[in-house]
Structure 1
């Protein structure tokens, strides 16, 4: 019976895919065309199939370590479940590296063989489902980073029953080639290695030139696009009379060359470069010499502990030497007409203050990767709030300035149900069992390049020393480098890592910044994430490009830490303080370009729990965000500022404080509104600033620009010219909202009862109170305009040509407003409601344990085109309610949220049509049965694969 059902499902799926799109097929079986579109990549589909299969086989000619590394997390989870696989690959064209074959041998649940075909060029992924049916993805994608994520590829996913001809042919051919192939052994790899190395000689030079920045291989060094833009901005700042500017650029993006290019353009009589550590001076001077190639060698001087070349035109000095009175006073105050301060976030230190207060240059440039300091020093004020250029991690990865990374989040060592947490004792952290576990994981997830050159961050100095000793004893030579390590020894240890004499440097926070070790190809995090800033600083230690690596492996051992929620937020650079955004961050797979983020199932659950248990909008967090932005701007920041700089979402302030005015009062700022003025501001903030419908915002903006009144026809014409969705229903709805008729009495009272905008003989007018306050209270005017502008900024996230935007979130109240109902309707919608030929359906996909089993309906996706939905019980198919739903003139909109943890907002999945409805019976309790209707809803827009994955049970 079960096999017959599966046969029918496959027949329906194939019919939907190849014969009739209106037939309903199971998503696991419906044919899909995959070409690496946004949210619908080969990697997404491979991950999805691996989660659901009972075994698998990849028949792939070309495989890279960079594609295999993120896949290892899924394969490890499968191994824990006892699911095995096979990989048939090749030595065709000597594309696959010997090291990649060694990585394949580490997969304990995967058998690997080498095809005995010289021209083996197959690309197929086959997933078995309990020996009943198979899913195959066949097309153009090899298992390489770009082929499964970013390249324009063509692949087809099809499903076949075990007796089907296509399955028989595929499996028959696989088994035929498998028998002819030979097992992957170390002996075979060693033999292949000789052949591989010979074939690589003719490509070696071209490969190196391709992998390192253009300015490293070109005789004439020219600025890249980022540097060109930054140089233009710096010049514009100087042209406007400014004497200082700041560049914020993540490590590895060419800040030093940028500074040299600008110095060349400025052509100073004498130039000073200030740095905090002597060991990077020589590299800096070397870079400047390349750009200033026309200058003689004697033009460059170094002022440090061991060198005092004061006469050079271009001086490079450490702050420790320069800040001493006997050396500083050798210079005139105006001796340098251009000063460049590297790692300038340190300029709050007394040594820097002393030097920078002493000199009076014509121009000073500051450069830093980490301006967000956790102290009271205002870096932005020091540079007169002139930010010439800013490039953070995600943008730098997108622009291919940094080495891609594969982040692996796995659970920390566990024994007897215990796992590391914030209070773990040192003996636990350095126990032999934990170290063995760490070694096992780091060896499994490996690194790019010929030799391991890694950094390990741990939580305390003694831990670093003990770990270094234990790892060394276990054939992983390591050295601890802590705050106690003298400078000469630090440099020696770094040199040992670069020369491959040791495999790991183990440190606490010493390497958070200012260290340049391009060879690092593995970063291991054995500590709690205390802040997003430190997390990115430590991650960034491995992101500088090097000819010996193609990516960096970042292995994060996740324990029972309260701050686990910071991990996805830091990786994405999400400062919105919104829990829903944090949950979305956790589901990301690709971060930027070919970089990936991968969590094991257990680690992901720990982070999810941390997000749910953490207050992201505490007063302390919002206060710190406020002070950071205030320091950056040099004035009180407003909602629009937070939106523009991608920090706290305006909705966070509004949900917590009703309006931004109340938050400003908490911050002890001097703003004054009357009670009536605050009611109006609260209305705009709570109802409009989310930007989910732009029309009300534009109406307020235009009417305030026209002294409080606006011709209705002119406004309608303006809205339509902008391409905004607008009809009679929208017009009526907007007027109800702005007159407060939309709202229940309680909210009308909260918003002051008086109409905000009324229609007076086709003239829109704001109320007299509103007009008087807007004209006479500058604080009120400022805050109202800010709320409107923040709303218009939020509206950019939505498709203004449609009433709703796919995959955006809406509350029941939002939906009622947008479709033209009243707020009162939102309290009676519950699961769904039909009114005025519109039916919004709200589904909580995973029902709460608190809900009785008798009403836990099996609402679910059948596939990415079909959603199975149940009406309320005690509904018959011939009832008036069902007749309205089944009426072809009824527009049905589908909204879904994962569970009740996500609050009141639902993702919008688009318009749906009823394709099938059938009467069923529902067991309400042991002695009561009531009718219910099961409905198959066809989505107008096929659900994107990444969004579909969010709702997998």
Structure 2
């Protein structure tokens, strides 16, 4: 270990080119490449002792590490936390929460201005310490520009000894914090908070309401659109200020008369309040059917003005500007009648969810004019919404049965489950002083019974049903806002059309059937509110068939890319933008992993859903690149349904008159679609693109393009390898490749496009469109997901099939699908290892064990030994470090492999007998670089690692 640390110090302080363990190098830790909270969680999960010494602690900061603190408490791992009361910034609520953990010693320094920030984690005889600028607060651990230095040291090292001595000198001189002392501090804190809040309210009153950055861009788009078009659609996530945006646009274009339509009274009233703040000089009224006085701006319920006897009271051109809120409902007859009657100069439709299940073409209604689009991901990135902390927690087992869609209502409301829900609710908490919670359940009966059971336990709540009157809804919402009740329990009635900004906890007790509905329900708590720093989301996840929709919904990535979904489960915090965080319990991860692996997303139903939506959005037949560009189901998933997109189109649009493809055109298209798609490097598609332009291939020119446009250097070998693939000089004996014609042809030193290919590309417009689309998609896919720099044309920690492993390492191999555990390339002096880590040892041949992220045990094939007849075998040469070893790793049979890089050295190789009685060689291998943590967590953590 000493040598590892010394080499890491050399890399960190002497020369960055010196090779050493990435794990132990000094590092600058900020929120740039990775959120600090992600690293903090990892260190807490792996430590045997921890110390946190920070000036400020807030409940938001504590909430983000609650899951780790709970696990540490269960394991009996001791921790010490020191904070201060400087400026009365540390929150008493956070201190009270920390006091709940029996394994934590908590102290507060009051006698001096304490401003130190340090996090210390012990594992064995190593201390990792992060010292710098980050307090234990939400912003410091996610988005602030922070600088922290991470240093690793043996416990005998001077830096760690001096730092810990300094810490203990202060810490040991203080008394443990008690609830009485926290209450005493709380009185001072509250006095200062009230003063700060009065100041803030005064500033807000004086501040002029102005559009935010995204609204500014949307307003400019609307200004341009209104010059040429009469209709526009605004797609804006719930809580991002679309009503304010419409008011700003009305202010900008200054129409004589405006009509604003909504379908809920509460929406209408709040929208009117918004317009009154922006358009103070205009006369604004709410229309009802017993009055028809003139006004500048009329707000009306669709249920009222949608009646023919009411809207016909107005001339058709009476309103210059019409706004329709929640416009996805506009397929209904009342909306259609009103829209078809009025002839405004401009019609603006607003919605958060244009993807409706009723097949109504909302895009066609607005002439495919999307004025602006802001989804949840962008809204979080721009801090337009309240950050959330999501906890995917396991629902309980009742008599050995995990909660599922089929669970009987009686089991959904048993006391054991009620206690489980309330315990989790109390533990994970909420932002602010009062709980304002919203609970979504599966059935009306469940809502009613749960409400009764909650009340029996002293929890103030109400159940709301779909057939409850608007008056009852509004009264119940008012009770929640005023703190008279803590929860509203409902089924689906709050998916849209309700605005309750105070909601600070959302509990999901239902299976996920639709990612749209899921986001609608989650979004109920995302509006910003004066005392709400964050939203807590508790998702109780049972054995639900579609729980794989959870990562799709939260990440807003609709590609159905299995690798992306798995990585999101492991570290969604780092993927989701802004101050939000995401964590799933291990048992929940396993349930969702299994569902992701076993589900086939390449179905007609799945593809057709996105196809229909895109067709409406674009106003034309979508191509593969459209799906990719608009974050729909990935083309690679589509092409697992049928071999070519031509086949897909003929199934989805049987009445569409498509040009026929001859046998050779279909052959070329299938070859490119199956062997080259999705492209995990740019080389082959770039070669094809340039060949289509120039009719021949110049390797030097391709090299220059790769260097100048893609920052890839020394690519001659990879370019030549790519050319061989298109020439079909590689994989010639591979059975799946035999049927295909080469795309390129070689004539002496000259390489040109195949004559038939070029002729079809030149004459058949449909074939040309399909080929251009494949090139466009593949270049975009590799650029986004497999972007390489430097010299290698294969990326560490990315997913590859066995065939692709050889392909992208530029190794000529003709039987990529039938490879077993490893393949030796004698001429290149390389061995490619394919390692499967599987929890079920009865299903595997060998017991591959990972000691850490670099060192692991690996076994040869059966009936192998180091020497035979006194000579080294290939296995013996591996033990002697004769070959370069390239390693690929996967979790289970049926998944693809992840490239984990070169083996730095074979530490040991010995003949042995495995547990099945076969003679094998057992190796101890050391990777050149540590496996990326997210990948390690997914592939290895739940295996037989030591």
Scaled by the length of structure 1, what TM-score is found? 0.89
Deviations 1:314-353 (A, max 9, x none): 1111100011122111011121121111111111111111
SS in structure 2 at match of 1:782? helix
| Correspondence 1:251 to 2:251 | no
Distance 1:274 1:396 in 2: 25
Give the drift of 1:521.
0.7
Q: Is the 8 A contact 1:301 1:309 kept in 2?
A: no
| Correspondence 1:142 to 2:131 | no
In 2 relative to 1, CA 820–349 (structure 1 residues): closer, same or farther, beyond 3 Å? same
RMSD of aligned residue pairs (Cα, Å): 3.2
Q: Is the 8 A contact 1:897 1:907 kept in 2?
A: yes
In 2 relative to 1, CA 679–154 (structure 1 residues): closer, same or farther, beyond 3 Å? same
SS in structure 2 at match of 1:184? coil
| Correspondence 1:793 to 2:780 | yes
Q: Is the 8 A contact 1:577 1:652 kept in 2?
A: yes
2:645 — aligned with what?
A: 660
Distance 1:433 1:855 in 2: 42
In 2 relative to 1, CA 31–728 (structure 1 residues): closer, same or farther, beyond 3 Å? closer
2:593 — aligned with what?
A: 608
In 2 relative to 1, CA 20–191 (structure 1 residues): closer, same or farther, beyond 3 Å? closer
After the TM superposition, which residues 170-189 of structure 1 pair with which residues of structure 2 at under 5 Å, given as runs?
177-189=170-182
| Correspondence 1:736 to 2:719 | no
1:809 — aligned with what?
A: 799
Which of 34, 41, 48 does residue 47 from structure 1 map onto?
41
1:213 — aligned with what?
A: none
Q: Which moved more, 1:258-267 or 1:383-392?
A: 258-267
Which of 252, 259, 284 does residue 300 from structure 1 map onto?
284
Distance 1:894 1:505 in 2: 53
SS in structure 1 at match of 2:344? coil
Q: Which moved more, 1:917-926 or 1:354-363?
A: 917-926
2:113 — aligned with what?
A: 119
| Correspondence 1:221 to 2:209 | yes
In 2 relative to 1, CA 718–25 (structure 1 residues): closer, same or farther, beyond 3 Å? closer
| Correspondence 1:191 to 2:184 | yes
Q: Is the 8 A contact 2:257 2:321 kept in 1?
A: yes
Distance 1:34 1:41 in 2: 12
In 2 relative to 1, CA 71–686 (structure 1 residues): closer, same or farther, beyond 3 Å? same
Q: Which moved more, 1:783-792 or 1:137-146?
A: 137-146
After the TM superposition, which residues 560-639 of structure 1 pair with which residues of structure 2 at under 5 Å, given as runs?
560-590=543-573, 591-639=576-624
SS in structure 1 at match of 2:323? strand
SS in structure 2 at match of 1:15? helix
Distance 1:32 1:616 in 2: 43
| Correspondence 1:548 to 2:542 | no
Give the drift of 1:776.
3.3
Distance 1:68 1:43 in 2: 11
Distance 2:137 2:452 in 1: 37
Distance 1:728 1:57 in 2: 52
SS in structure 1 at match of 2:822? coil
Deviations 1:596-647 (A, max 9, x none): 0011222222222222332333322122122221222222211011011011
Q: Which moved more, 1:144-153 or 1:248-257?
A: 144-153
Give the drift of 1:391.
0.9
1:74 — aligned with what?
A: 68
Distance 2:917 2:875 in 1: 26
In 2 relative to 1, CA 126–817 (structure 1 residues): closer, same or farther, beyond 3 Å? closer
SS in structure 2 at match of 1:656? coil
Q: Is the 8 A contact 1:680 1:756 kept in 2?
A: yes
SS in structure 1 at match of 2:904? strand
Give the drift of 1:529.
1.3
Deviations 1:100-120 (A, max 9, x none): 222223335544333464334
SS in structure 1 at match of 2:363? helix
Give the drift of 1:227.
0.9
1:700 — aligned with what?
A: 688
Q: Is the 8 A contact 2:260 2:299 kept in 1?
A: yes
SS in structure 2 at match of 1:281? helix
After the TM superposition, which residues 236-315 of structure 1 pair with which residues of structure 2 at under 5 Å, given as runs?
236-239=224-227, 241-293=228-280, 295-296=281-282, 299-304=283-288, 308-315=291-298
Give the drift of 1:650.
1.4
Which of 808, 825, 830 does residue 818 from structure 1 map onto?
808
Deviations 1:104-137 (A, max 9, x none): 233355443334643344434344557x665544
Give the drift of 1:543.
0.6
Distance 1:923 1:561 in 2: 42
SS in structure 2 at match of 1:47? helix
In 2 relative to 1, CA 475–155 (structure 1 residues): closer, same or farther, beyond 3 Å? farther
| Correspondence 1:336 to 2:319 | yes
Give the drift of 1:96.
0.9
Q: Is the 8 A contact 1:31 1:159 kept in 2?
A: no
Q: Is the 8 A contact 2:50 2:79 kept in 1?
A: yes
In 2 relative to 1, CA 262–838 (structure 1 residues): closer, same or farther, beyond 3 Å? farther
| Correspondence 1:64 to 2:69 | no
Distance 1:712 1:916 in 2: 37
After the TM superposition, which residues 406-421 of structure 1 pair with which residues of structure 2 at under 5 Å, given as runs?
406-421=389-404
2:635 — aligned with what?
A: 650
Higher RCO, Cα 8 Å, sep 6+: 1
Q: Is the 8 A contact 2:879 2:909 kept in 1?
A: no
Q: Which moved more, 1:15-24 or 1:97-106?
A: 15-24
Give the drift of 1:541.
0.5
Give the drift of 1:146.
2.8
SS in structure 2 at match of 1:14? helix
Q: Which moved more, 1:398-407 or 1:136-145?
A: 136-145
Distance 1:408 1:948 in 2: 21
2:6 — aligned with what?
A: 15
1:160 — aligned with what?
A: 154
Give the drift of 1:777.
2.7
Listed as ranges, the gaps of 5+ residues in structure 2 are none
1:469 — aligned with what?
A: 452
Q: Which moved more, 1:791-800 or 1:375-384?
A: 791-800
